[in-house]
Structure 1
Amino acid sequence: MIDRREVIGFSQRVRLEWFEQTANLVFAGHDKAAINEALQELLKDKVSVGGNAKGCNRNKVISILRRVWVSPPDEIIPLRDDGLAFLSTQCSSLSPHQLSVALHWGLVMAVYPFWSSVATQTGRLLRLQGFAAAAQVQRRVREQYGERETVFRATRRVLRSYLDWGVLQKTGTKGVYAAGTTIAIDDFRLVAWLAEASLHARPNGAAPLRELIDSPSLFPFRIKPVQAEIIEAASTRLDIFRHGLDDDLVMLR
């Protein structure tokens, strides 16, 4: 079986509103055929205009959208279901748009760890020097996934998606990006949900709590530190173990 953490998968520029539309269709109870038809209609004048070949970019985008919200891997279905539940609630400190960014970011990184890998390199550069050059991100991602043209194209399209989502913004220098608006997350339920999503993108499904909350892969967010007991109480799918003298290890159950 191929480990999804070792493949690219996410190889298209995908706008946030397309993910929002897909999640809303799932939340409304539409079946796979109806969702596919609705997405074809939504994207017909936006991607691969005038074409409908099986391997066209529009169908690749729809495949990504469906993989995230319609038919995620079995182990991620409970996370997806909780994400859908958030759609019917409101975090008091977040606007609907901010909540949307958090939910779609989390589920995309869980289903497509490549998204998380690009985010990790981007976030590290932003912390280190205050900006992220596409060439630097490309070099670091290719060190992990190999010197392939598919890696180059996929990384470019993921970065383009970050710009579309507003988590990165252009600077006066071509190919150099600054951080977009940072979203403060202080709802412990959403913190636990994002922690679980992040663990799904990691090979061993475990990380120290402090490292998890402060991960550069979550660079669009400023996550309020929470106690391990609160994380464990908020999710039945996470286990907490004492790690060292002053930290706790969070693991997927």
Structure 2
Amino acid sequence: MPHNGQLTSQKRFSQIGFSRLIRLEWLERTANLALAGNDESSIYDALQRLLDNKLYGGKNVKGGSREKTIAILRKVWVRPPIHLICLRDDGLEILSHIPREEHVIIHWGMTMAAYPFWSAVAMHIGRQLRLQGTTSVGQVQRRISEQYGERGAVSLAVQKIFLSLADWGLLSRTANRGIYVPGLSFAINDIRVIAWLVEAFLHVHQGGPLMLDTILNSPSLFPFLINPVSAGQLVKASGRLDAFSVGIGQDFLVIGKAN
């Protein structure tokens, strides 16, 4: 019989959570507030001001769009699940050292880790882009509904993720409603960034183990061209990754006990 920790983990992987358009500038602002050392209350107030007149429903409107949006922003960069705190801290530190145009990589990784549903949607988007060069909101909604159930909330959340990815510049709309093509792509050569992104990916898959090639070539990382690296390089660059081999060219990675 699963213990409480397992039940909590299972629940996290069956939840949607990400149900609003999240603009990249809002994530950037939230991360900057955290980097500046603001406490949770100050960050909450700053986000209320940021979203004032942009979204309906402030702190006095229970369940309002603004409150739900702030909840997502805070879960990513302010109060992530406890097992993601080290990942969050390292992500903030990386943000302070890489060019602004590359920040989307870190926002992607932290959003993916905090919201496994995001990663599931990205996986289907990436698969469609590889197969046909385009991706359809309707097709992804159908695939995700097979995993999460035929619920209106599922279809709405998929739509919001598409809109978010378009805002981030990672998908581009076409003349056909609900059809998107790839947007910006980013080459990732910094070993520390790669190791951090690999750790974020492993958190989506409950810590691994996963084959290195599976991670680096995952459709759920479709906007990124990751420089080939070895498992040993990743372990050396991260204090929380462990690796083992089961054959030639079959290197596996797992989040180690240090996390």
TM-score by length of 2: 0.93
Aligned mate of 1:30, from 32, 38, 50: 38
* Aligned residue in 1 for 2:52: 44
- Indicate conservation of the 8 Å contact 1:208/1:243, yes or no: no
SS at match of 1:72: coil
Q: 1:113 to 1:50 in 2, by over 3 A?
A: closer
* Aligned residue in 2 for 1:214: 217
What CA deviation, in whole Å up to 9, does each residue of 1:85-124 have, x standing for no partner?
112212xxxx412x21001000000010000000000000
Q: 1:50 to 1:35 in 2, by over 3 A?
A: closer
Q: Which amino acid aligns with 1:252?
A: I
Equivalences for 1:154-169 in 2 at 5 Å?
154-169=157-172
- Indicate conservation of the 8 Å contact 2:58/2:64, yes or no: no
* Aligned residue in 1 for 2:95: 87
Aligned mate of 1:61, from 58, 63, 69: 69
Aligned mate of 2:192, from 189, 214, 221: 189
* Aligned residue in 1 for 2:3: none
Distance 1:86 1:159 in 2: 26
- Indicate conservation of the 8 Å contact 1:106/1:194, yes or no: yes
Q: Which moved more, 1:81-90 or 1:178-187?
A: 81-90
Q: Which amino acid aligns with 1:56?
A: G
* Aligned residue in 2 for 1:248: 251
Instruction: Give the % identical residues.
Output: 49
Deviation at 1:51, TM superposition (A): 8.4
* Aligned residue in 2 for 1:105: 108
Deviation at 1:229, TM superposition (A): 0.7
Distance 1:41 1:54 in 2: 17
Structure number with greater CO (CA < 8 Å, separation at least 6) is: 1
Distance 2:69 2:239 in 1: 32
Distance 2:62 2:250 in 1: 49
What CA deviation, in whole Å up to 9, does each residue of 1:170-216 have, x standing for no partner?
11211110000111101111010000001111145321001101111
TM-score by length of 1: 0.95
1:123 and 2:126 equivalent? yes
SS at match of 2:42: helix
Q: 1:50 to 1:200 in 2, by over 3 A?
A: closer
Provide structure 1 residue ranges, at least 5 long, that are not aligned to the other structure. Answer: none
Distance 1:173 1:131 in 2: 11
Equivalences for 1:129-140 in 2 at 5 Å?
129-140=132-143
Distance 2:186 2:129 in 1: 15
List, as ranges, runs of 4+ consecutive aligned residues in structure 1 with deviation greater than 6 Å: none
1:171 and 2:171 equivalent? no
Provide structure 2 residue ranges, at least 5 long, that are not aligned to the other structure. Answer: 1-6
Distance 2:183 2:167 in 1: 11
Number of aligned residue pairs: 248
Deviation at 1:236, TM superposition (A): 1.2
Distance 1:249 1:125 in 2: 26
* Aligned residue in 2 for 1:202: 205
Q: Which amino acid aligns with 1:58?
A: R
SS at match of 1:12: coil
Deviation at 1:50, TM superposition (A): 7.7
* Aligned residue in 2 for 1:19: 27
Q: 1:226 to 1:54 in 2, by over 3 A?
A: same
Q: Which amino acid aligns with 2:48?
A: Q
Deviation at 1:49, TM superposition (A): 6.3
Q: Which amino acid aligns with 1:68?
A: V
